[in-house]
C-alpha cells in the first residue's frame, strides 16, 4: 500500500507536473504581449529595468530553468501585478476561501446526492424515481452561470433573505455553495442510483433478504458499501472540480478565492501567478486522485493484493 | 418478439433504430433539436430583425407582440439575438466535437491497435493529461491568443478528446483479437487500411454515444468562456454572451437572463436525452446510471 502511494506520488506525478509546467511556461511566454504591455506610456528604459528586475531579459531557456529550480524549492516567485507580494502569499490568502467554498459544496453534494440516489433506487421506476432523476437532469443542464444569477435574483434581490456578494457573513456563503454544488448533486444522485441498482440485483443481497434482513438493513449494511463505489470514483474529480472550477461562482458572487485571482492573473498576463496557480491546481488534482485510489482499495477488499 | 424478426434477420443498426424510435423522450428531443437547427441556420430568413439592429428609443422592453421575447438595453430584439446566438453555440458544439472525435478516435485506435510499448507510452500521456487543469488551459489559450471562433473550437476540441481516446482504445484492444482482423492481417492488408476500414467502423457505436454527450459539454464550455468574456465577442452573440449580458442587467430586466438561459438549458436537456437514448439503443447491456 505504502509502496503504491510512494510510487504514485513520485514516479507518476513528477513527470506529469513537469509536463504541465513546461507546456504552460512556453505557451504563455511565446504568446504576444507581456505583463507590462497593458500599461500605457511605460518609458523604454523603465520597461527595461522592470524586465531586468524580474529576470525577463535573460534567454527564455535560462528563465525556464531558473523557474523550475525555484519551484522545486517551493518558491513560486514574485507576482508581477501585485507588487511586493509573492505568488506563495497570494495562494496562501486566497486558497482557503476556495477550499471552504469547495468543502461546503461537496458536503452538500454528497449528502443531498446520495440521499436522492438511495431514494430513487429504493423505489425504482416509481413517480419519486422519475421525479428525482428529472430534477437531477436539470442540475446537469442548468449551468452555474445561469443558476447563480437566478438564485441571486430570487433569494437575494426579490426576497432579500441572503447576502448576494462578498464573503463576509455566513449568509454570504449559502448561495455560492448551492450554485457550485448543483451539478455535483445531480451527478452523485445518478451515480448512487446506478450503483445501488446494480448491487441490489446481486445474489448476496438476495441471501441477506432470505435470511430475514429488513429493507433498511439490506440497504445500509449490505448494499451501501458496494453501491457507493461509483460515487467514490467520482469524488476525486469532483473535489478537484469544485476547487479548480469555481471561477464562475467566485466571479458571480465576488468571492476573493483562488479562481478569481487566477482569472485576473490570466487577463493581466501575470506570468508567475498563472504558472503558480496551474502548478498548484495540478498538484491538487494528483493528490485527490491518489486519495480516491486509496479509498477504493479500502472499500473493495478484492483490490488488495 | 415478432416472427419476422427471426426470419428476416436484422442488422445491429436496424435493431438499434427500432429501440431508439420507441424512446419517446429521445424522439421528442430530436424533433426539438432539428427545429432549433433549422431556425438557427435559416435565422436570416426567420428572424424578424437584424441581430445588431438597435432601437435606442425603445431600450429594454419586456415581451410584446412586436418583440416576442422583449429587447435588450440597446433595443435589440432578443428573439433574433437568441437565434443568432444559437448559430454560434451549435456551430461551436459541432465543430469542437468533430475536432475531439478526429483526435480521440485516431489516437485511441492507433494506441489500441499497436499495443505494446507504444500503447503504454500513449496511454501514459493521456493519464498525465487528465491531471492537467483544463479549464485553466483553455482560459490561457483564449487570453493569450487572438480570440477567434477557430481557436475557440480547436482549444475545446483539444481538451475533450481524452476520454474518447480511452474508450476507443479499450474497444480496439478487444477487437484486435477477433478472427476477421486476423484474416485481414493474413490477407496482407496494410496497417492503415485495417485500422480505418475494419477497426474504426466497428467501434462507432460507443463513439457515437459519447460524441452526442460531448456536444452539450462543449456547448457548456463555450458558454462558460463567453460568460467570462473570453469567447465570442460582441456584437456577435452566443448564448453564453447573452446570459452574461442578462446577468448584468437582471435586476431591472430579468427576461434578458431567463430566456437565453432557457434556450441553453433546453438544448442541453435534449442533447443529453438523445445521448442517453442512443446509448440504450446501441448498447442495451450498458447499465443506465
User: According to the model, what pLDDT value does residue B285 have?
Assistant: 54
| Interface membership of A160 toward B (CB under 8 Å) | no
- Give, rounded to a whole angstrom, the gap between the first and last alpha carbons of chain A: 9
For B80-118, write each residue's pLDDT tens digit.
888 888 888 888 888 989 999 999 988 998 898 888 899
Contact between A149 and B227 using a beta-carbon 8 Å cutoff: no
Contacts of B264 in chain A (CB under 8 A): 143, 146
Helix/strand/coil for A257: coil
- Please tell me the predicted confidence (pLDDT) of residue B31: 92
Provide, as residue numbers in chain B, all residues whose Cβ is less than 8 Å from the Cβ of A193: 289
Residue A68 lies in a domain: no
Asked if A200 reaches chain B (Cβ–Cβ under 8 Å), the answer is no
Which among A141, A262, A269 is the nearest to B136, CB-wise? A262
What residue of A is the nearest CA neighbor of B241? A145
Let me know the angle formed at the C-alpha of A112 by A107 and A115, rounded to the nearest 5 degrees. Answer: 125
CB-CB under 8 Å, B243 with A146: yes
Q: Which three cell numbers stand for residue A89?
A: 502569499
Residue B212, C-beta contacts closer than 8 angstroms, at least 6 positions apart: B271, B274, B275, B278
Give the rounded percent of residues in chain B with a pLDDT score beyond 70: 89
List C-alpha distances in Å: B17 to B14, B28, B120, B210, B283.
5, 15, 37, 17, 12
pLDDT at B148: 77
Q: What would the pLDDT profile of A217-270 be if each residue is shown by its tens digit?
A: 888 888 888 888 888 878 877 887 787 768 888 888 888 888 888 888 888 888
Q: Is residue A289 part of a domain?
A: yes
Name the packing angle between helices A13-30 and B116-130 (round to 10°).
70
The mean pLDDT value for A125-146 works out to 85
Is 90 exceeded by the pLDDT of residue A110? yes
Q: What SS3 class is residue A303?
A: helix
Contact B143 A269 (CB under 8 A): yes
Given an 8 Å threshold on Cβ–Cβ distance, is B268 in contact with A141? yes
Question: Which residue on chain B is closest to A193 by alpha carbon?
Answer: B289
In a domain, A171, yes or no: yes
Measured in angstroms, the CA of B253 and the nearest CA of chain A are apart by: 11
B289 and A194 within 8 Å at the Cβ level: the answer is yes
Rounded to 5°, angle at Cα B94 from B90 and B100: 145
Does A63 fall in a domain? no
Interface list for B 134-193 with A (CB within 8 A): 135-137, 139-141, 143-145
Instruction: Choose the closest CB to B264 out of A146, A190, A195.
Output: A146
Q: Does B251 touch chain A (CB under 8 A)?
A: yes
Structure confidence by residue, pLDDT tens digits, B213-261: 888 888 888 888 888 888 777 777 888 888 888 888 887 888 888 888 8
Is there a domain that residue A27 lies in?
A: no
In a domain, A138, yes or no: yes
What's the CA angle centered on B227, arms B50 and A171, to 5 degrees?
A: 130
Residue pair A175/A148 in contact (Cβ under 8 Å)? The answer is yes
The DSSP call for residue B233 is P
Residue B131 has its nearest CB partner, among A149, A190, A285, at A285
* pLDDT value of residue B1: 47
How many C-beta atoms lie closer than 10 Å to residue B284's C-beta? 10
pLDDT band (50, 70, 90) for residue A109: very high
Give the model confidence (pLDDT) of A238-248 as tens digits: 887 787 768 88
Q: Are B210 and B164 in contact (CB under 8 A)?
A: yes
Q: If you compute the radius of gyration of chain A from its CA atoms, what whole number of angstroms results?
A: 24
Q: Are A183 and A237 in contact (CB under 8 A)?
A: no
Contact status of B216 with chain A (Cβ, < 8 Å): yes
Question: HSE of A158 in the Cβ direction (CA atoms, 13 Å)?
Answer: 12
Residue A256 near residue A2 (C-beta atoms within 8 A): no
How many angstroms separate the CA atoms of B266 and B32, rounded? 9
pTM of the model: 0.79
Q: How far apart are CA A228 and CA A251, in angstroms?
A: 33
Q: Tell me if A67 sits within 8 A of A271, measured CB to CB.
A: no
Helices (H), chain A: 2-7, 13-30, 44-53, 60-72, 87-122, 127-141, 144-151, 174-200, 203-210, 215-217, 224-227, 229-244, 247-252, 258-268, 271-299
| pLDDT for residue A300 | 72
Top-confidence residue, B272 or A43: B272
**Nearest-angstrom CA–CA distance, A245 and A259:** 7
Domain carrying residue A182: 95-304
* Segment B123-152, tens digit of pLDDT: 888 877 776 777 777 888 887 777 777 888
For testing the chain B interface, which of A32, A116, A149 should be mutated: the one with the most B CBs within 10 Å? A149
CA gap A285, A17 in Å, rounded: 11
Q: Which three cell numbers stand for residue A201?
A: 440485483
Is the CB of B131 inside 8 Å of chain A's CB atoms?
yes
Question: Grid coordinates standing for A230?
Answer: 461509483
Inside any domain, residue A154:
yes
The percent helix, strand, coil of chain B (3-state, each to 5) is 75, 0, 25
Check if the beta carbon of residue B267 is closer than 8 Å to that of residue B33. yes
Q: For residue A145, list chain B residues with Cβ-Cβ distance below 8 A.
A: 223-224, 227, 240, 243-244, 247
Residue A183, C-alpha cell as written in the block: 451539478
Contacts of A24 in chain B (CB under 8 A): 137, 140
**CATH for A272:** 1.10.3720.10
Q: Do the Cβ atoms of A28 and B144 come within 8 Å? A: yes
The helix or strand, by DSSP H or E, that contains position B7, with its residue range, turns out to be helix B3-8
Contact B216 A277 (CB under 8 A): no
Question: Chain A within 8 Å of B249 (Cβ-Cβ)?
Answer: no
Q: Report yes or no: A248 at the B interface, CB cutoff 8 Å.
A: yes
Report residue A107's pLDDT band, with 50, 70 and 90 as the boundaries: very high
Residue A86, SS3 per DSSP:
strand
For A38-54, give one letter per residue: b (16+ CB within 10 A) or e: eeeeeeeeeeeebeeeb
- For B180-196, what is the mean pLDDT? 87
Facing residues of A86 across strands? A78
**Which ranges constitute the DSSP H helices of A228-270?**
229-244, 247-252, 258-268
Number of domains in chain A: 1
Of A16, A27, A141, the CB nearest to B265: A141
B145 conformational bin, left if phi > 0, alpha if psi -120 to 50, beta if neither: beta
For residue B37, with 0-12 CB atoms within 10 Å meaning exposed, 13-18 middle and 19 or more buried, which class applies?
A: middle
Burial of B261: CB neighbours in 10 Å, binned 0-12, 13-18, 19+: buried
The pLDDT assigned to B287 comes to 41
The dihedral through the CA atoms of A192, A194, A197, A199 has a sign that is negative
What is Dmax (Cα atoms) for chain A? 86
ipTM summary value? 0.75
Q: Is A140 on the interface with B (CB under 8 A)?
A: yes
Would you say residue A21 lies in a domain?
no
Amino acid at each position: 500500500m505504502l509502496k503504491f502511494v510512494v510510487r504514485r506520488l513520485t514516479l507518476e506525478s513528477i513527470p506529469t507536473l513537469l509536463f504541465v509546467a513546461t507546456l504552460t511556461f512556453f505557451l504563455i511566454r511565446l504568446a504576444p504581449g507581456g505583463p507590462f504591455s497593458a500599461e500605457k506610456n511605460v518609458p523604454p528604459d523603465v520597461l527595461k529595468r522592470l524586465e531586468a528586475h524580474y529576470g525577463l531579459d535573460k534567454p527564455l531557456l535560462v528563465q525556464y530553468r531558473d523557474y523550475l529550480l525555484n519551484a522545486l524549492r517551493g518558491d513560486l516567485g514574485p507576482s508581477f501585478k501585485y507588487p511586493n507580494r509573492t505568488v506563495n502569499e497570494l495562494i496562501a490568502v486566497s486558497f482557503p476561501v476556495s477550499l471552504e467554498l469547495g468543502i461546503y459544496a461537496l458536503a452538500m453534494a454528497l449528502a443531498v446526492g446520495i440521499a436522492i440516489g438511495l431514494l430513487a433506487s429504493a423505489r425504482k421506476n416509481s413517480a419519486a424515481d422519475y421525479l428525482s432523476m428529472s430534477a437531477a437532469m436539470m442540475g446537469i443542464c442548468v449551468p452555474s452561470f445561469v443558476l447563480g444569477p437566478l438564485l441571486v435574483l430570487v433569494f437575494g434581490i426579490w426576497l432579500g433573505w441572503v447576502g448576494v456578494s462578498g464573503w463576509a457573513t455566513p449568509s454570504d456563503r449559502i448561495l455560492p455553495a448551492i450554485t457550485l454544488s448543483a451539478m455535483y448533486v445531480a451527478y452523485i444522485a445518478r451515480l448512487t442510483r446506478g450503483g445501488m441498482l446494480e448491487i441490489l440485483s446481486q445474489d448476496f443481497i438476495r441471501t441477506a433478504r432470505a435470511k430475514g434482513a429488513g429493507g433498511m438493513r439490506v440497504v445500509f449494511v449490505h448494499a451501501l458499501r458496494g453501491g457507493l463505489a461509483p460515487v467514490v470514483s467520482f469524488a476525486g474529480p469532483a473535489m478537484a472540480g469544485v476547487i479548480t472550477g469555481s471561477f464562475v461562482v467566485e466571479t458571480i458572487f465576488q468571492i476573493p478565492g483562488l479562481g478569481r485571482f487566477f482569472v485576473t492573473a490570466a487577463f493581466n498576463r501575470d506570468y508567475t501567478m498563472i504558472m503558480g496557480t496551474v502548478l498548484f491546481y495540478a498538484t491538487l488534482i494528483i493528490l485527490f486522485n491518489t486519495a480516491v485510489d486509496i479509498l477504493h482499495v479500502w472499500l473493495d477488499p478484492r483490490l488488495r493484493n | 418478439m415478432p416472427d419476422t424478426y427471426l426470419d428476416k434477420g436484422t442488422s445491429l443498426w436496424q435493431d438499434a433504430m427500432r429501440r431508439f424510435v420507441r424512446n419517446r423522450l429521445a424522439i421528442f428531443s430530436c424533433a426539438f433539436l432539428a427545429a432549433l437547427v433549422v431556425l438557427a441556420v435559416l435565422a436570416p430568413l426567420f428572424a424578424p430583425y437584424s441581430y445588431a439592429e438597435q432601437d435606442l428609443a425603445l431600450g429594454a422592453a419586456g415581451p410584446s407582440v412586436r418583440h416576442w421575447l422583449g429587447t435588450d438595453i440597446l433595443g435589440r430584439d432578443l428573439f433574433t439575438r437568441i437565434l443568432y446566438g444559437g448559430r454560434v453555440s451549435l456551430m461551436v458544439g459541432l465543430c469542437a466535437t468533430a475536432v475531439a472525435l478526429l483526435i480521440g478516435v485516431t489516437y485511441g485506435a492507433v494506441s489500441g491497435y499497436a499495443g505494446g510499448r507504444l500503447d503504454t507510452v500513449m496511454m501514459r500521456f493521456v493519464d498525465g493529461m487528465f491531471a492537467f487543469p483544463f479549464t485553466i488551459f483553455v482560459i490561457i489559450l483564449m487570453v493569450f491568443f487572438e480570440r477567434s471562433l477557430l481557436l475557440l473550437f480547436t482549444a475545446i476540441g483539444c481538451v475533450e478528446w481524452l476520454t474518447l481516446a480511452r474508450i476507443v482504445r479499450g474497444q480496439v484492444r478487444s477487437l484486435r483479437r477477433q478472427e476477421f482482423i486476423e484474416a485481414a492481417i493474413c490477407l496482407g492488408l496494410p496497417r492503415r487500411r485495417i485500422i480505418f476500414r475494419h477497426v474504426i467502423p466497428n467501434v462507432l457505436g460507443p463513439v457515437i454515444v459519447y460524441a452526442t454527450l460531448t456536444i452539450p459539454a462543449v456547448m457548456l464550455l463555450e458558454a462558460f468562456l463567453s460568460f467570462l468574456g473570453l469567447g465570442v465577442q460582441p456584437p456577435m452573440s452566443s448564448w453564453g454572451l447573452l446570459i452574461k449580458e442578462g446577468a448584468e442587467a437582471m435586476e431591472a430586466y430579468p427576461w434578458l437572463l431567463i430566456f437565453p438561459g432557457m434556450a441553453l438549458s433546453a438544448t442541453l436537456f435534449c442533447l443529453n436525452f438523445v445521448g442517453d437514448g442512443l446509448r440504450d439503443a446501441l448498447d442495451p447491456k450498458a447499465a443506465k446510471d
